[in-house]
């Protein structure tokens, strides 16, 4: 068993060195040294873990700190917003978390002079997420967003937004009222020193493969 665990740990270190940029490695190392798994819910947010390097800074977002971080990112943008979404809902009830209405903040962004582009997942027409995405896409387009649809060959499951190609939030949160009030999700905000980074490259590749016309 000890040999198996040692082998597993070695393989994990190898994968991390290959797949993760240098700025994220200190964060992973800190999580390993903590020796244990964190647990929590929306009402009891996980503690925010923060590590920095000369290349990037990373903040984990869970529970109550996700929505404020999203709003800060949107409001701090000066040139552009890029959004990739598995699911996005335009329905935000008047009660409860109205002050954290991420969708309205997105709608207001083009009027601030930002170039706003969204790539949404293409779901089966009969699915609820397809209806949510379609309804949201209409409102985003009316507000001035350039809306495209991910290729059907592979389901876009990313939850990603970046401001000015230098600050990105990515993780498991969909853009919905449920995501910030009921679900247990985890995302990260990553700040890069320049627009030449892995997140911007990933976005550019996705955008090049996406289509303007909706198929749902």
Every domain of the chain and the residues it spans:
23-35+45-209
pLDDT score recorded for residue 49: 38
Q: Which residues of the chain have pLDDT under 50?
A: 1-53
pLDDT for the residue 160: 98
What pLDDT does 108 receive?
A: 97
Q: Which string of b and e fits 168-192 if b means at least 16 CB within 10 Å?
A: bbbbebbbbbebbeeeebebbbbbb
Q: How far is CA 139 from its chain centroid?
A: 20
Q: What is the pLDDT of residue 71?
A: 95
CATH of domain 23-35+45-209: 3.30.870.10
* The predicted structure's pLDDT at residue 106: 97
Q: Could you tell me the sign of the dihedral formed by the alpha carbons of 179, 182, 107, 168, in that order?
A: negative
Q: Which pLDDT score, from 0 to 100, does residue 8 have?
A: 38
Q: What pLDDT digit, counting tens, does each position of 79-94 carry?
A: 999 999 999 999 877 6
Q: Residue 98: what pLDDT?
A: 57
Q: 181 with 96: CB under 8 angstroms?
A: yes
What pLDDT is recorded for position 96? Answer: 53
pLDDT attached to residue 214: 59
| Predicted TM-score of the model (pTM) | 0.72
pLDDT at res. 48? 41
């Amino acid at each position: 068993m000890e040999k198996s665990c040692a082998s597993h740990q070695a393989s994990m270190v190898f994968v991390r060195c290959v797949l993760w940029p240098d700025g994220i490695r200190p964060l992973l190392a800190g999580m390993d040294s903590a020796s244990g798994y964190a647990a929590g819910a929306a009402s009891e947010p996980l503690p925010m873990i923060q590590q920095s390097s000369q290349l990037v800074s990373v903040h984990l977002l869970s529970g109550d700190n996700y929505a404020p971080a999203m709003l800060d990112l949107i409001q701090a943008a000066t040139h552009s917003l890029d959004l990739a979404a598995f699911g996005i809902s335009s329905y935000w009830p008047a009660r409860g978390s109205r002050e954290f209405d991420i969708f309205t903040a997105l709608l207001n962004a083009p009027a601030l002079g930002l170039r706003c582009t969204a790539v949404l997942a293409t779901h089966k027409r009969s699915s609820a997420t397809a209806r949510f995405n379609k309804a949201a896409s209409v409102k985003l387009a009316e507000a001035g967003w350039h809306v495209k649809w991910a290729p059907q060959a592979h389901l876009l499951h990313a939850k990603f937004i970046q401001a000015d190609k230098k600050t990105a939030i990515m993780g498991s949160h969909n853009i919905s009222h449920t995501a910030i009030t009921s679900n247990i999700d985890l995302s990260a905000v990553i700040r890069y020193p320049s627009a030449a980074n892995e997140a911007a490259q990933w976005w550019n590749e996705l955008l090049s493969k996406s289509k303007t016309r909706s198929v749902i």
